Each structure stands twice: as structure tokens, then as C-alpha cells.
């Protein structure tokens, strides 16, 4: 398996959806190729860091103001 072949499987690998016939090759490539091992690890960290850190604040004041504005606009028409 080449590095390009490995990258093509990366999304499925994260989802645990690699074709079983290919999985052993993918795992072997990770063991053999340090570059791809790093890409795998740092891509995993990229996803985790954005998932775990809420980068845009949603303070209570804003939430309440928005909520009130939404509900003021969403009223049944008589």
C-alpha cells in the first residue's frame, strides 16, 4: 500500500469502515510508514481539539437575547 492509497482510506479508517479486505494492509502501512503514522495521529488530534474546545462563546446574555428575539418573531399568525 502506498501513502496515497493510505490517505484515500483515512476517512473510512476513522469511521471504522475500511473494507475488511484492506484493513490489514492499512494497519501494516501505519506500522511501516512513520510519516503516515504521524499524519494519522495529528489528524486525529486535529478533530479532537476542535470537538473538545468550543471556540466561539455563547454567553448567557447572548443566548437569552437571541432566544427572546426568535420567540418574538415566531408567533402564530391570527
Partner 1 sequence: MPAIQSPATEEIHPDVALVERAKKGDTAAFEQLVRQYERQIFRVAQHITQNREDAEDITQDAFLKAYEKLDQFQGNSKFSTWLVRIAVNESLMRLRKRKTSKTVSMDQDVQTEDGSIPRDFAEWRPNPEQLYGQNELGDILRKTIQGLPPGFRTVFTLRDVENLSTEETAEALGLSVPAVKSRLLRARLQLRERLSRYFRQKNGGPKP
Cell of 51: 470537538
Residues between 8 and 47 with contacts to partner 1, criterion CB under 8 A: 10-12, 15, 34-35, 38-39, 41-43, 45-47
Residue of 2, 5, 24, 63 that binds partner 1 (CB under 8 A): 63
Q: Is 75 exposed, middle or buried (0-12, 13-18, 19+ CB in 10 A)?
A: exposed
Please answer whether residues 9 and 25 qualify as being in contact, where contact means their C-beta atoms are separated by less than 8 angstroms. Answer: no
The DSSP call for residue 15 is: T
Compute the least distance from the CB of residue 5 to partner 1, in Å: 13
Contacts to partner 1 by CB under 8 A? 7, 10-12, 15, 34-35, 38-39, 41-43, 45-47, 49-51, 53-56, 58, 62-63, 66-67, 69-71, 73-76
Amino acid at each position: 500500500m502506498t501513502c496515497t492509497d493510505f490517505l484515500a482510506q483515512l476517512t473510512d479508517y476513522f469511521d471504522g469502515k475500511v473494507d475488511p479486505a484492506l484493513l490489514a494492509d492499512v494497519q501494516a502501512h501505519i506500522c511501516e510508514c512513520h510519516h503516515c503514522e504521524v499524519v494519522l495521529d495529528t489528524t486525529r488530534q486535529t478533530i479532537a481539539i476542535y470537538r473538545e474546545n468550543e471556540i466561539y462563546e455563547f454567553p448567557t446574555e447572548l443566548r437569552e437575547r437571541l432566544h427572546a428575539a426568535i420567540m418574538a418573531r415566531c408567533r402564530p399568525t391570527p
